[in-house]
Amino acid sequence: MDAAVGRQAVRCGRRRLSRADRDCPNRTARMIDCPTDMSAQRDAAQCDAAQCDAAQCDTEERLKASERRYRSLVAAMSSVVFTAESEGIAAEPLPYWEEFTGQTFEQMAGSGWMEAVHPEDRAVAQENWRRAVARGEPCRFECRIRRKDGVYRWFGVSAVPVVDNNRRLVEWVGTLTEIHAQRAAEQELECRNYELRERMKELRCLHAIAMACNQDDTSLPVFLDWITLVLPSAMRFPEDAVCRVVCDGAAYLSGSFSEPAQPISAAIVAGGSTVGSVEVGYRSADTGAAEPLPEERDLVATVAMLIGQAISRQRDRQMLEMQSRELTRRQTLFEQMARLAKVGGWEVDLRTRELRWTDQTFEITEWPRDRPPDLEWQLSRYEGEGGELIRSKFREIVENDGTYDLELPYVTATGRRRWLRTIGQVERVDGEPRRAFGALTDVTDAKLARNRMWELANRDSLTGLPNRRLFQERLEDAVSADVPTDSTALLLLDLDDFKDVNDTLGHDAGDALLKAVAERLEAAVGETGMVARLGGDEFAILVQPIGGAEEAHALASRLAAEIVRPIAFSGESIAVRATIGIALHPYHAGSAAELFTNADVALYVGKRGGAGRAVVFKPAMRHVTEERVAVCASIRRSLERDEILPFYQPKICLATNRVTGLEALVRRRHPEFGVQPPAAFAIAFQNTEIAGRLGERMLDLCLRDMADWAEQGVAFGQVALNLSEAEFRRPDLVEVLLDRIARFDLAPAQLGVEVTETVLLGREGDAVGARLQELHRAGISIALDDFGTGYASLTHLRQFPVDTLKIDRSFIQSIEEDAASRAIALAVVTLGHTLGMDIVAEGVETPGQADLLAEAGCDVGQGYLFAKPMPATRVPHFIRTWGREDGAPESGRRPVRLFG
């Protein structure tokens, strides 16, 4: 205080008086005491003055030294010292103030210095300074003061009051200390403490969640609900945080949930796939607008990862539990199946040779349960070399690892013969074999079933002979074997008129005949050959070795002689003949397929030349096959080129002279020979594939023509279509017909089906009959074509659903001259009408024939008398003009016109 006062006095250039001295009315009296002796007083005064001058000089020197020390101290300090009057007003310029803030003393005077204080800190600074001045108490506060460059720095302001001896406030002395670095350090420390507290919150949260993840007894919904409560507490503003967890389509929400402004989201991944998400945010506008911190994002991502791990563990645990239950179930099932399947287990200790069995093994071997199993005895029960074979396999797997699997005949302890399957394997410990174990299965029933299945697959069920499959294998083996030239003969045998036996005496008689023929063939061939039934009434004989063609022909003759001998059946004598085709390897063919083809060609030639013959193949016979192949290839090309087309021949009611319908006849438009009838390519119908394709094409074309006529308003009645034996083999024939009829918007009654006696009574007779029944039920009429030329009997007319009988043209041609033909025609008409059938006469060419048929009661005529077959484009004109001459209707007279 003294130094400050002294420094101030020096600045003013005079001695500074105290306030008490200035206020005293007799200052001079107070300063100098005058003695009564004036001279003495003068001398004393002079002495005192000298002393005072000396003292003053000394004082001034001390003050100057003090001031120098003060200035040095202030310069060394980081603080600025200031003084202010008792009212708090700056009394003099502050050192460095103008240099620091840029304010002059005039600008900072009074309260102007507040302009340098940060606006946010002014109120605090003013209030602290005002309160200190009012109370005369020291004050301390902190504020930011602006530098000349506009940057604010933190300062600590400290001021204390200066009082005189009377305790009166004289002035204020204080310091301004820059504390910016300290304040920044404090803020940094505070931030670090804040971050530490946040991290601790996160760690506590993650620890709690991690602990919860390991609680296996907590259900997933409860766990996820708990997550929505715990996770918000670790956020920056926990009181405003909300959380949503979505898992497997279910949502779990924290209390008072509302959609956050800027949610933090992370996917929950379990088992490599995303199963849900975790979402955290703030619901209020203030906190929700804040940019999420990286630490918050990391926290949410970590929680999502922990949830995914928990879900994966829970699923794994559930999977393990399920697998455990499944394993238990399968173990139980295995034990049950082992008992049902007769599977037993065995084990051998390779060090002690001790044999152990399961209960099922005791049952399989029928060994007494009260006796330990004996290994040597067990091996001795296998028949033949079975025991030694197992020993050999056992030694092999002990030395080289692996397994063995054998099926061997076995005799049980009670003497029953069984087939056992034994499987063995060796277990090793540290590379050394320790035990052998395996399974024992009673496969007797399976063995018998396999043998039976083989028999069914390779043997004919009626005769017991090898079937086509087995015969083909043996033929391939015989042809590929190394044997002398001409050593293998193939004989294909076909029974003649076998269908007559079935049709007249029934299928039982036919079966008896086939079995008798099989027995005779096997007896005649003996051990040198093989006899097989290929199907129906076809047999094949393979003989190896054989001398040549003559010996093969002699064998065929003997076979034919054996077959022709009658057999007795139900009091009847049955006799048939056989046609045989012969081919030899390697003289006639180099492969099994070629040998079979050539034998078939020889059989075909024999059939064409007359039944009951044995024919040896000759190369010249190939032209028959070549012709058939050429015709079939030509028809295939015609099908591809749309050269197949239908022609239509009208059917006329003999009573009313009206058109009742049409018959569709196949034609071929040959590019060289023009339109050809079916006789030109009849051989192609023997090919099942071509016959089927021709039938498909004819059906489509006929239905298309019928639909066109219907659209033109042409009353065409019913169109009859001939179906081949190949088409009747299709199990979906009826479905196909009805589907296509419906596709063209026609009625089933508008289509009729014609079938010949040959097809009806052929090898596929049963299939044909079944299809005819289905067609009849569907509303499609059935006509029996060429009646009287085959072997159809009254039984067949009753057995099959025939609606119409067609008298063959061979009877109509001679009906005018031959009384027998007239009688046959009349009989057929009478028979058909008696059975409720319509009668159609084919091949009507003269008016006389038409008159006779009409008098006999025949319903419909068809032939050149009325019209030749015509293309579809001429049908509408024919139907519209039929029965008219010069545009006028005919009445009472049947026209005698030929339509070319």
Q: In the predicted model, what is the mean pLDDT of residues 777-801?
A: 76
Q: In the predicted model, what is the mean pLDDT of residues 241-256?
A: 89
206-210, 422-426, 550-554: least confident range: 206-210
* Contact between residue 595 and residue 475 where contact means Cβ atoms under 8 Å apart: yes
147-156, 694-703, 765-774: least confident range: 765-774
Q: So what's the pLDDT on residue 341? A: 62
Residue 520 has pLDDT above 90, yes or no: yes
pLDDT (tens digit per residue) in 530-540: 999 998 889 99
Tokens of 788: 């009287």
Q: Which residue has the higher pLDDT, 1 or 762?
A: 762
pLDDT (tens digit per residue) in 328-377: 777 776 666 666 667 888 888 888 888 888 888 888 888 888 888 888 88
Residue 664 has pLDDT above 90, yes or no: yes
With tokens 């034998």, the residue in question is: 599
Residue 898 has pLDDT above 70, yes or no: no
Q: In the predicted model, what is the mean pLDDT of residues 148-177?
A: 89
Count CB-CB contacts under 10 A for residue 39. Answer: 8
With tokens 């034609």, the residue in question is: 667
Q: In the predicted model, what is the mean pLDDT of residues 855-879?
A: 95
C-alpha 647/C-alpha 701 separation (Å) is: 10
Q: How far is CA 89 from CA 96, 640, 669, in A?
A: 18, 123, 133
pLDDT (tens digit per residue) in 112-141: 888 899 999 999 999 998 999 888 899 999
* pLDDT range class, residue 718, cuts 50, 70, 90: very high
* pLDDT range class, residue 323, cuts 50, 70, 90: confident
**246: three-class secondary structure by DSSP:** strand
Distance of CA 141 to the CA centre of its chain: 79
Residue 15 has pLDDT above 60, yes or no: no
Q: What residues contact residue 502 under an 8 Å CB cut-off, 6+ apart?
A: 509, 510
Helix (H) or strand (E) holding 499: helix 498-505
Q: How far is CA 403 from CA 350, 351, 410, 437, in A?
A: 16, 19, 20, 10
List phi, psi (to 5°) of 236.
-65, -40
Q: In the predicted model, what is the mean pLDDT of residues 870-895?
A: 69
Q: So what's the pLDDT on residue 17? A: 39
Q: So what's the pLDDT on residue 288? A: 54
- Between the two ends of the chain, the Cα-to-Cα distance in Å is 156
Q: What residues contact residue 864 under an 8 Å CB cut-off, 6+ apart?
A: 843, 844, 845, 898
Share of the chain above pLDDT 70, in %: 86
Record the pTM: 0.43
Q: So what's the pLDDT on residue 76? A: 58
Helix (H) or strand (E) holding 177: strand 169-178
Q: Which residue has the higher pLDDT, 75 or 847?
A: 847
Q: How far is CA 78 from CA 73, 101, 179, 888, in A?
A: 10, 16, 9, 143
Residue 462 has pLDDT above 80, yes or no: yes
Q: Which amino acid is at 255?
A: G
Q: How far is CA 565 from CA 558, 568, 682, in A?
A: 11, 10, 36
C-alpha 559/C-alpha 580 separation (Å) is: 9
3-state DSSP helix/strand/coil % of the chain, to nearest 5? 50, 25, 25
C-alpha 823/C-alpha 194 separation (Å) is: 127
Q: In the predicted model, what is the mean pLDDT of residues 714-727?
A: 90
* pLDDT range class, residue 401, cuts 50, 70, 90: confident
Residue 11 has pLDDT above 50, yes or no: no
Q: So what's the pLDDT on residue 780? A: 93
C-alpha 73/C-alpha 67 separation (Å) is: 10
Distance of CA 619 to the CA centre of its chain: 57
* pLDDT range class, residue 578, cuts 50, 70, 90: very high
Residues 744-783: b if buried by 16+ CB within 10 A, e if exposed: bebebebbbbbbbbebbbeebbebbbebbebbbeeebbbb
Q: So what's the pLDDT on residue 71? A: 63
Residue 704 has pLDDT above 50, yes or no: yes
Q: So what's the pLDDT on residue 72? A: 67
Residue 834 has pLDDT above 50, yes or no: yes
Tokens of 630: 């050429």
Q: In the predicted model, what is the mean pLDDT of residues 10-34?
A: 38
Q: So what's the pLDDT on residue 8? A: 40
**40: three-class secondary structure by DSSP:** helix
Residue 203 has pLDDT above 80, yes or no: no
Q: Which residue has the higher pLDDT, 875 or 425?
A: 875
Name the range with the highest mean pLDDT among 51-60, 67-76, 259-268, 850-859: 850-859
Average predicted confidence (pLDDT) for the chain: 82
Residue 16 has pLDDT above 50, yes or no: no
Q: So what's the pLDDT on residue 481? A: 66
Q: So what's the pLDDT on residue 879? A: 94
Q: In the predicted model, what is the mean pLDDT of residues 180-187?
A: 84
C-alpha 213/C-alpha 268 separation (Å) is: 14
* pLDDT range class, residue 458, cuts 50, 70, 90: confident
Residues 441-457: b if buried by 16+ CB within 10 A, e if exposed: bbbbeebeeeeeeeeee
645 DSSP β-pair partners: 667
Nearest CA-CA partner of 444 in 365, 367, 514: 365
Q: What residues contact residue 180 under an 8 Å CB cut-off, 6+ apart?
A: 153, 154, 155
